[in-house]
Structure 1
Amino acid sequence: MEKTDIIIVGSGIAALQLARRLQDHYYVRIITKGSIHSGNSYLAQGGIAAPLGLNDTIRSHVENTLEAGRFHGDEDLIHKLIIDGKRMVEMLVEEGAPFDRDVDGQLSLGMEGAHSHNRILHGGGDQTGKYIMKHLLGTLSEEKVTFHEDEMVYELLKDERGRCCGLKSKDKRQTRMYHASHVVLATGGIGGLYPATSNHPAVTGDGMALAFLAGAELADMEFIQFHPTLLTVEGKTRGLISEAVRGEGALLLNDVGERIMEGVDPLMELAPRHIVAECIFRERERGRDVYLDISPIDDFERKFPSITRLCRKHGVPIEDGRIPVSPGCHFIMGGVVTDSVGRTSIPGLYAIGEVACSGVHGANRLASNSLLEGLVYGDRLGDHLIEKGISPTIGCALMPVQEKNALSIPYTEEEIKERMIRHAGIIRDEERLLSHLNWLKEQPLTFERPLDCDSREEIQRYFFWIVSLLVTESALRRTESRGGHIRADYPWEAEAWRKRKLIIQHNQGRLKVGYHEQNETEIYA
């Protein structure tokens, strides 16, 4: 039987950073629903933000992060993130990580929306996630780190004291049960709950559903960032057009040649993402198509090779200088509430990366801070677990597969995706949110039911229902517009909601909602 000390669910940048920090001390098992390469980290076109420029400062990066997050984030945690993040990036540079460089050999630092300095490091132009993931994978020990691909985790296990001590999973043939001293969720966000998304299709909020069912606290589920510029062909989104394209000088025009950001924000195309996304959304609502005018960018194909390939694959000639775009779900700022090292409200359970609500993104994530967060929290949690030590555990056991008496779920994934974009999408209001919430509550589902007898497909639809409910309930209760949460019926920021977190939790089969006025997550032991 293979030895397991720590289980990581998910295989993105946060998971790999944690695994490489732990491998000299523990046996690590990484379980991922798809393949190692089927997550958002591997797809990330944008870069990693760090204040490495000659005239840049940590304070400036902190201020940009607070402003983009509409002052909902925790300033102290953000400051620590930037300090540790700068150190992490410098370490990667020393290791020889493949960051792009200028002709003189200096690191090439790009500009993205809501940043005040050039501080974005890229790899392969617009392939940063792929390059960094390959670098991290190359540092892992095959003897100490075991990967399980195409295996879906569907339940977290707790002992009689309420401590998380393992999980259950399914691959295509059998069901397994694993035990470990510590379980880490690194499953990413919720993009797959919407029909238009930059996310990999496998990213559907599973970690949040797992944590919720286990009784962990979640927060800020209403704050969802819609990326302004997804390639859109014949009404369907086909992939991400990185914000770095606008950072290089691309303009946003409608189909009659008007600059749509004129008079909307002084930063124009480089305004925070929620502002740009809302502007494009409203243009399209009034029947206008929107394009990225890339004609100001010299040598576009060399600077953005993967975007060039994406456009040509879908019949959009780069030579025309116009890329059709529309917004799509990109990043959720909310998730499983954690403290500064990744501990959740359940002992033995941790969360890092996008699945976590760590307090550093506020109401809207600053561009290229997500890979930075993954690196920092993966490293921090590694330090914490090494210092904490582990208890002896057993490995894994096969369980009998029971596919009988499965609950028939009366909706398709496509149906709930379409309802999410219509009722809990970029622009929300009470009528649509309440309509969707009532529809969700009418489904014959509860929070307390065994999942051993269900297929992966049924479990996935069940998890869709849970996460959709959490987002909708939270969006209905926050009666203001802030960052990624835009209410047409409350189109202002309310001082009473500033830094006020909606905490949502499963408690004895019921949905419990409370509030934290400030960041109170350091209490987790």
Structure 2
Amino acid sequence: MNIGDVIVIGSGIAALQFAHHIRADKNVIILTKSNVKASNSSLAQGGIAASVGVDDNDSLHRIDTLEAGRFHNNEEVVQKVTEEAPRLIDELRAAGCPFDEDEKGELLLGMEGAHSRFRIVHSGGDATGKQIIDFLAATLNRNIFIEENRFAYELIVNDRNQCIGVKAKDEAGKIHYYYANHVVLATGGCGYLYSLSSSDPNVTGDGIAMAYLAGAEIADMEFIQFHPTMLVKNGEVKGLISEAVRGQGATLVTSNGEAIMEHVHPLKDLAPRHIVSQTIFNHIQNGKDIFLDISSIEHFTKKFPTITELCLENEIDLSSGLIPVAPGCHFLMGGIKVNMQGETNIGGLYAIGEAACTGLHGANRLASNSLLEGLSYGKRLAQHINGSNWSEVPLSYMRTLQDSGSKAILVPTLNELRQSMMDRVGIVRTESTLTEQKTWLERFFKLDQYSPCLDELSSSQIQSFLGCVIALLITDAALERMESRGGHFRIDFPNEDKNWQSKQLIYQFRKGRMVLDEQIKASEYARAVFS
């Protein structure tokens, strides 16, 4: 039995920022599915958005965030996070984290899509995520204990609706039990549930599925951001080509040099990501290959060393000035519904980072606001828990929420699930494909029925089952929202509907689907039942 003061599941930027700010006299156990640096945070080529430029301010950053999010955002959260962004950068710099500077020691600022100012702070050019994760991981206090290769798969909740721990399996399949007063989910999003994806293979929505099965509220799952420019070769994603490349002047073109964004949006190649992704997708559907034309960028290899290495590894001839690209799943705007401190509706259970739905991103995340969110909520949650009353874990009230169902369980392979999500719940959605996917997924799990006992299943079976839970949440929400907004595009409802702008779809295990209208009190839910 492992007992700590805090258990953190996940090891991305939100988790490590939390670990840096939690009280040094408290024992913190970080469980990570693979190794501590295997996360989407480490893969992040973009930077951190912060209004540190002389011609910038947090109000402009706030406006850009709301516009990109198609005004589905929580405005209070947007204001708070954009206000504190410069301070978070200052704190990291003061602690010794390296950022790219000019010869005068001033921060070099980049431009990315949907931003009105140069405000992207980088570290190591296009290796920002890796640099920051390396720094945070190397400077942890001695009270932080990291256990790698632990696949957390079930939360332990007592009769008082308090989360007091988690079950996890090691590489040999042995079950380990961890208990604590505070359990923090920082497991990331679910990008790897799509066959074309920028995500680390470990990012499959486990934490969100666990929280859902434990009774936490899950919101905004229909809003999936597809990054416009994945490096593709032979139909496979080989890596991400950062939006910063377009910020330096690269353009999206067909094989005959036609600039595809020229007349689509005033910001052209730096339009919001959902618009760029949908435009590329339409061209690919019409049989055209799309390339990123980098010929106008001087010293490309010096400015983008990570991307250069990626292209060379995949035998892409950079001297041609063309990089083959296609859209792929990149970021989940929804997740576990939390308040400003990262608290869920279950006592002792918290969520931060991409696993959480904070309201910052709305229907579509503004570029480089993700690392910012992780830093912001990691610190804020640590401060919140630091100020709470600490007590011993109430082990006498232990129980798990799982039913003792049959050990036999039907699940698809992860690859089958990934391909089906890309084909039916991808960039462009329709009622028919969504209905087909929902029917297929309900062969394995229904949102209003019991959850099977997972203990005797293999890790790969558990992985597929939890993936099906997430896939069904995404599919049902996409079917229910009959409009197009941000990362959710319905070809049969191609326009935004003002009646849907303030409505949020919320799911809770055994309680069905709820439609929360933010214009009324949060307690006044209009409830719907599953058909």
| Length-normalised TM-score, structure 1 | 0.95
Residue 94 of structure 1, CA deviation: 1.9
- When residues 47 and 136 of structure 1 are mapped into structure 2, their CA distance, relative to the original with a 3 A threshold, is same
2:376 partner letter? V
2:428 partner letter? I
Residue 389 of structure 1, CA deviation: 2.7
- Is the contact made by 2:152 and 2:167 (CA closer than 8 Å) also made in structure 1? yes
- Work out whether 1:145 is the aligned partner of 2:144: yes
- Is the contact made by 2:64 and 2:116 (CA closer than 8 Å) also made in structure 1? yes
1:275 partner letter? I
Distance in 2, Cα, partners of 1:32 & 1:78 = 29
Equivalence map 1:284-433=2 (5 Å): 284-393=284-393, 406-433=407-434
- Is the contact made by 2:434 and 2:479 (CA closer than 8 Å) also made in structure 1? yes
- When residues 464 and 520 of structure 1 are mapped into structure 2, their CA distance, relative to the original with a 3 A threshold, is farther
Distance in 2, Cα, partners of 1:394 & 1:165 = 8
Equivalence map 1:87-486=2 (5 Å): 87-141=87-141, 143-173=142-172, 174-393=174-393, 406-443=407-444, 447-486=450-489
Distance in 1, Cα, partners of 2:226 & 2:428 = 11
Residue 518 of structure 1, CA deviation: 4.8
Residue 104 of structure 1, CA deviation: 2.8
Residue 348 of structure 1, CA deviation: 0.7
- Is the contact made by 1:340 and 1:522 (CA closer than 8 Å) also made in structure 2? no
Gaps of 5+ in 1: 398-403
Residue 455 of structure 1, CA deviation: 1.0
Stretch deviating more after TM superposition (19-28 or 120-129): 19-28
Residue 144 of structure 1, CA deviation: 0.4
Gaps of 5+ in 2: 399-404, 525-531
Q: Alignment partner for residue 494 of structure 1, among 492, 497, 514?
A: 497
Distance in 1, Cα, partners of 2:521 & 2:319 = 52
- The equivalent residue for 1:514 is 515
- Is the contact made by 2:8 and 2:184 (CA closer than 8 Å) also made in structure 1? yes
- The equivalent residue for 2:529 is none
Residue 514 of structure 1, CA deviation: 3.3
2:154 partner letter? E
2:269 partner letter? E
Residue 431 of structure 1, CA deviation: 0.7
| Length-normalised TM-score, structure 2 | 0.94
Residue 138 of structure 1, CA deviation: 2.2
Deviation digits for residues 313-372 of structure 1 (CA, Å, limit 9, x no counterpart): 001011111000000000000000000010001111000000000000000000000000
- When residues 234 and 182 of structure 1 are mapped into structure 2, their CA distance, relative to the original with a 3 A threshold, is same
- Is the contact made by 1:230 and 1:240 (CA closer than 8 Å) also made in structure 2? yes
Please give the secondary structure, in 1, of the residue aligned with 2:509. strand
Distance in 1, Cα, partners of 2:521 & 2:416 = 37
Q: Give aligned pairs, total.
A: 514
- Is the contact made by 1:9 and 1:187 (CA closer than 8 Å) also made in structure 2? yes
Distance in 1, Cα, partners of 2:471 & 2:92 = 37
- When residues 34 and 299 of structure 1 are mapped into structure 2, their CA distance, relative to the original with a 3 A threshold, is same
Residue 408 of structure 1, CA deviation: 4.1
Distance in 2, Cα, partners of 1:211 & 1:60 = 35
Residue 405 of structure 1, CA deviation: 7.3
1:418 partner letter? Q
Deviation digits for residues 185-237 of structure 1 (CA, Å, limit 9, x no counterpart): 00000111000100101100001100000010000000000000000111111
Distance in 1, Cα, partners of 2:276 & 2:261 = 7
Identity %: 48
1:496 partner letter? N
Distance in 2, Cα, partners of 1:26 & 1:389 = 12
Deviation digits for residues 394-427 of structure 1 (CA, Å, limit 9, x no counterpart): 89x9xxxxxx974242421111111101110000
- The equivalent residue for 1:401 is none
Distance in 2, Cα, partners of 1:520 & 1:208 = 25
1:458 partner letter? Q
Deviation digits for residues 60-85 of structure 1 (CA, Å, limit 9, x no counterpart): 00000000000000111100011122
